[in-house]
Amino acid sequence: MADVFPPDTVRCDACPVLCYIKRGHAGACDRYANIEGQLVRVDPHILLDRAKSQGTPLVPFLEREGDWDGKIMKGQDTFVTAIGAGTTYPDYKPAPFIVSSEIEGVDMVTVVTEGIFSYCGVKLKIDTDRHLGPERKLVRAQGEPVGHVTTAEYGSQMLSLGGVHHLTGGTKSEGRVTCETLLDLCNGKEVELTIEGGATVRAAAGQPPIVNGQREDRMRVGCGSATIGMFAKQWFGKVDDVVVVDDHITGVLSEHQAGKLLGVRETGIAVQGRRSTPGRYFQVAEPGTGWGGTNISDPLTILKPFKAKFAWPHLRLLMVSTTGEQHAYYELDEQLQPVEKELPDGLKESVARIRENCEPALTTVLFMGGAGGSLRAGVTENPVRLTESVKRKLTRVTCGGAPAYIWPGGGITFMVDVTRMPENAFGYVPTPALVAPIEFTLKKDDYALLGGHVNFVRPLLEVLEEKERQRQVGALPQNPWPLKPYAGSSES
Amino acid sequence: MREPALIRMLPDGCRLHLHDGPIDLVVEASGSRETVSIAYEAATRRFVSILDELCAELSLLRSQVTRGSRSPNGTIARCMYAAVLPYCETRFITPMAAVAGSVAEAVLQSMIVAARLERAYVNNGGDIAIHLSPGQSYRIGMVERPDRLSFFGSAEVSADGTVRGIATSGWRGRSFSLGIADAVTVLAGSASAADAAATVIANAVDLPGHTGIIRIPAREICPESDLGDLQVTRSVCPLAGSEIEAALDSGAGIASLLVEEGLIDSAALGLQGQTRVVASAQQTPSFDLMQRSLLHA
């Protein structure tokens, strides 16, 4: 059927209606359109309203009711974001909106554009002790490689997804799925990722990760050894030995320095794995999604038999994971065999304390992209000057009003926490590449100096007149107000 | 890539917003906190499968309905079919003419089955299904042009009347129109009936052959439109007073027939600032038009 349509008709797959959209027209939803032969989301242009920031949740696109309150906006309390602003690509022409406003007596200019980023990706921090997969292994979505496992950090595993090689360097399907995965993650949606030789993770920005169907609740308070150090005093006298099971470093109270200092009696306990220093063991089991990031579900499997030389009948043993999520209490019988018993009240408290000290486990998503030459050319006729101005902190870079961290070194490579941006701030083009908002705010004088498109600067109040395609949302209270000039020092 | 349905409360904390593909619903129920939350949950559960359900027989829903043509299978699809059936002998019509109202009706139905509500509405982009328990009423503001928010009138819908659905159609709206009405608002016994009737009446507000009206075959704008090669209105030049009257007469004629046949309760037809209300002679119209004074620059 498609062949009877003009060649630049696109088929939208954003919903099962699967509209064929002709060039210059929108689909049935009015939200996706065919612009220059490309499928583009055409949501309204988002303005941040500082007055709305107090406790009002963000209102994203698409409230067709039109509850415009008719308020005349005070210019300095409104920031024009790039969300829905449109892009300059592929032409080297001024950015779609270059807006001037006055704040605290200073004339500021904000250059607003939606960048098309083929060089982009997301850095995922998954708070978990569970072993997600070996470093360097591929991360797949819908069967396609979309990234890889990178370093393990304290209590978390980092994943690196996207990047130009997955977006455009592989098969068409790899690029499409990568783009879709990045888009969903950046827009706060959940994606399912499968790690080669490892776990399946369901991740969404700001939400607890779900590893192999199990929701992560808490981050560990420390490694097994550190946990022994922190809780030794609370255990002393209530139990004869404690093993904190951890894939990284398993701790044993009676051997650990902290236990020795308290005078904990030797129990002769013997733990599998490689002893690092007294009371600290590496590799007690294989990595996995069981106790403390190991593959075990029965903690006794990491213990060797108790010897009569040291151990005694009725010896009390607590085994606990680094998050306190798993725990078991044993007493030795006359044959020195551990028998599981109910956890005594005096120990319940310490297990609860471990849990309490574990922070909520989350998935964090940082979008990382580089502002290429054509994007920078939309800001100034001399793109390198923009880079210099950003590096000298004369120009503030924001994404949908959220602060961006700028990497030192060449170019404008930035990272932004997607949960600090308005909802659904990202779009895509089928190139495939992500469309992300980016705003450059600087003093009007500085803008002229760096060769800015000063003839295209429009006063804020004039831009605000074009209400039809705009929508106002509250600014997030945790973000610095983008129009405020830098106070000299760097910001968070 | 398939975007998942959006389900959220609007910032006022009272209204539920459900969005999936081209469907965009604003839902509000009144009652105790608990019943409202039960109702919203029911609405959401019903909502999430609707788009897939409709798309499963989309090509049939886009086909002309004639006496004896095949009825679709889905609950909502059958409601759409039933709503357009009374019109099929005299004009071209497809079940899509009643899609918005039928969806609103289905979601409302799921809520009132699940919870005992004082009153509730489901607004599907202007096509509204209404539930009223005894003694309750809604007052509804009418907007002529979706791009300009000013009320040109209001309608009162109360429990002792028969109106449970409201729909608006016009060439400025999201769906195509064969006519030139800015907005035709219809009150009827159900949202699906109102939706089909509003489409038919708005199509009839017309000045055939007028050179100041630009029309394009629907297929040229939207390749898969159910209207195929029919000419849909894209722009209307400013019209003389007599022309406006003539176009409104044509639409009002159809509207009167529909009132007589009991298909609708009443209709308000708007064209370039003029409004005509059609209702049965025996009753006081539910519409209340605002007195407007025109300002000349």
A264 lies in a domain? yes
Query: How many CB atoms within 10 Å of residue A429?
Result: 20
B137 lies in a domain? yes
B residues 216-275 near A, CB within 8 Å? 220-224
For A26, phi then psi, to 5°, come to -110, 160
Q: How high is the pLDDT of residue A468?
A: 59
Residue A90 confidence class, pLDDT cut points 50, 70, 90: very low
A365 lies in a domain? no
Q: Does residue A441 surpass a pLDDT of 60? A: yes
Contact assessment for residue B7 and residue B18, using Cβ atoms and an 8 Å cutoff: yes
For A329-377, how does the pLDDT look when each residue is reduced to its tens digit (9 = 90+)? 999 999 999 999 999 998 999 899 888 888 889 999 999 999 877 788 8
Contact assessment for residue A444 and residue A109, using Cβ atoms and an 8 Å cutoff: yes
B1 lies in a domain? no
Q: Is the ipTM of this complex over 0.85?
A: no
Q: How high is the pLDDT of residue A91?
A: 47
CB-based contact B21 A17, cutoff 8 Å: yes
B252 lies in a domain? yes
CB-based contact B22 A28, cutoff 8 Å: yes
A132 lies in a domain? yes
Q: Does residue A201 surpass a pLDDT of 50? A: yes
B149 to chain A: nearest residue by CA?
A66
For B37, phi then psi, to 5°, come to -70, -35
The CA distances from residue A333 to A235, A298, A339, in Å, are: 21, 19, 7
CB-based contact B222 A64, cutoff 8 Å: no
Q: Are A100 and A152 within one domain?
A: no
CB-based contact B223 A9, cutoff 8 Å: yes
Mean pLDDT of chain B: 88
Residue A233 confidence class, pLDDT cut points 50, 70, 90: very high
A474 to chain B: nearest residue by CA?
B11
Instruction: Provide the residue range defining the domain that includes B103.
Output: 6-287
Q: Are A204 and A228 within one domain?
A: no
DSSP string covering A296-317, please? -SSGGGGBPPPPTTT--TT-EE
Q: Pick from B3, B146, B149: which is nearest to A15 by CB? A: B3
SS (H, E, C) A76-127: HHEEECCCCCCCCCCCCCCCCEEEEEEECCEEEEEEEEEEEECCEEEEEEEE
For B260, phi then psi, to 5°, come to -60, -40
Average pLDDT on B32-38 reads 92
* 3-state class percentages of chain B: helix first, strand second, coil last, to nearest 5: 35, 30, 40
Whole-number Å distance between alpha carbons of B282 and B287: 15
Whole-number Å distance between alpha carbons of A276 and A323: 22
A467 to chain B: nearest residue by CA?
B147
Does a cis peptide bond (omega within 30 degrees of 0) precede residue A90? yes
To the nearest whole Å, the CA of A1 is away from the closest chain B CA by 10
H helices of chain B, in order, are: 33-47, 50-56, 58-61, 75-84, 99-114, 191-204, 218-221, 241-260
Beta bridge partners of A396: A441
Tokens representing B281 are 């002679």
Q: Does residue A491 surpass a pLDDT of 50? A: no
Residue B57 confidence class, pLDDT cut points 50, 70, 90: very high
Q: Pick from B24, B26, B55: which is nearest to A17 by CB? A: B55
Whole-number Å distance between alpha carbons of A113 and A82: 5
Question: CA nearest A359: which of A213, A157, A202, A217?
Answer: A217
Q: Does residue A57 surpass a pLDDT of 80? A: no
CB-based contact A468 B147, cutoff 8 Å: yes
Average pLDDT on B262-276 reads 90
Q: Are A467 and A390 within one domain?
A: yes
Q: How high is the pLDDT of residue A112?
A: 83
Burial of B146 (0-12, 13-18, 19+ CB in 10 A): middle
For A262-308, how does the pLDDT look when each residue is reduced to its tens digit (9 = 90+)? 999 999 999 999 998 899 999 999 888 889 888 999 999 999 999 98
Using the structure block, give the residue that is written with the tokens 């574990």: A358
Contact assessment for residue A177 and residue A132, using Cβ atoms and an 8 Å cutoff: no
B residues 135-154 near A, CB within 8 Å? 146-147, 149
CA dihedral (B95, B101, B107, B109) positive or negative: negative
A129 lies in a domain? yes
Whole-number Å distance between alpha carbons of B259 and B250: 15
Q: How high is the pLDDT of residue A62?
A: 28
CB-based contact A180 B1, cutoff 8 Å: yes
Indicate the number of domains in chain B.
1
Mean pLDDT of chain A: 84
CA dihedral (A255, A259, A263, A265) positive or negative: negative
For B191-216, how does the pLDDT look when each residue is reduced to its tens digit (9 = 90+)? 999 999 999 999 999 999 999 999 98
Q: Are A179 and A241 within one domain?
A: no
CB-based contact A468 B24, cutoff 8 Å: no
To the nearest whole Å, the CA of B117 is away from the closest chain A CA by 23
Whole-number Å distance between alpha carbons of A238 and B288: 80
Using the structure block, give the residue that is written with the tokens 């070194």: A409
Whole-number Å distance between alpha carbons of A160 and A163: 8
Q: Does residue A49 surpass a pLDDT of 70? A: no
Q: Which residue has the higher pLDDT, A35 or A324?
A: A324
**Chain B contacts of A5, Cβ < 8 Å?**
223
Q: Are A230 and A350 within one domain?
A: yes
Q: Does residue A405 surpass a pLDDT of 60? A: yes
For B211-261, how does the pLDDT look when each residue is reduced to its tens digit (9 = 90+)? 999 998 988 888 888 888 899 998 898 899 999 999 999 999 999 999 999
The CATH number of residue B261's host domain is 3.10.520.10
In three-state secondary structure terms, B201 is helix
Using the structure block, give the residue that is written with the tokens 């059609």: B278
CB-based contact B2 A15, cutoff 8 Å: yes
Whole-number Å distance between alpha carbons of A284 and A128: 18
In three-state secondary structure terms, A39 is strand
Residue A69 confidence class, pLDDT cut points 50, 70, 90: very low
Tokens representing A49 are 């309203």
Q: Which of the listed residues A197, A219, A241 is the one where a domain comes to its end?
A: A219
Q: At CA B40, angle to CA B35 and CA B44, rounded to 5?
A: 150
For A145-166, how does the pLDDT look when each residue is reduced to its tens digit (9 = 90+)? 999 999 999 889 999 999 999 9
For B116-147, how does the pLDDT look when each residue is reduced to its tens digit (9 = 90+)? 999 999 999 889 999 999 999 998 877 666 55
A12 lies in a domain? no
A33 to chain B: nearest residue by CA?
B222
Q: Does residue A489 surpass a pLDDT of 70? A: no
A361 lies in a domain? no
Tokens representing A445 are 């004088």
Instruction: Provide the residue range defining the domain that includes A243.
Output: 224-356
Kindly state the helix (H) or strand (E) to which residue A373 belongs, with its residue range: helix A373-377
CB-based contact B1 A17, cutoff 8 Å: no
B293 lies in a domain? no
Q: Are A341 and A397 within one domain?
A: no
Indicate the number of domains in chain A.
3
To the nearest whole Å, the CA of A474 is away from the closest chain B CA by 11
A212 lies in a domain? yes
B294 lies in a domain? no
Residue A186 confidence class, pLDDT cut points 50, 70, 90: very high
Q: Are A273 and A341 within one domain?
A: yes
Q: Are A248 and A328 within one domain?
A: yes
Mutate to test the interface with A, among B222, B225, B229, B232 (most CBs of A within 10 A): B222
A362 lies in a domain? no
Q: At CA A490, angle to CA A487 and CA A491, rounded to 5?
A: 85
Whole-number Å distance between alpha carbons of A108 and B102: 51
Burial of B293 (0-12, 13-18, 19+ CB in 10 A): exposed
Contact assessment for residue B214 and residue B233, using Cβ atoms and an 8 Å cutoff: yes
Say how many CB pairs under 8 Å bridge A and B. Answer: 68
Using the structure block, give the residue that is written with the tokens 């699906």: B192
CB-based contact B3 A66, cutoff 8 Å: no
Q: Does residue A60 surpass a pLDDT of 50? A: no
Q: State the pTM of this model.
A: 0.52
Q: Does residue A68 surpass a pLDDT of 90? A: no
CB-based contact B51 A183, cutoff 8 Å: no
Q: How high is the pLDDT of residue A459?
A: 82
Q: How high is the pLDDT of residue A65?
A: 33
Q: How high is the pLDDT of residue A14?
A: 78
Max CA distance (Å), chain B: 58
Query: How many CB atoms within 10 Å of residue B59?
Result: 10
Average pLDDT on A380-384 reads 86
Q: Are A388 and A423 within one domain?
A: yes
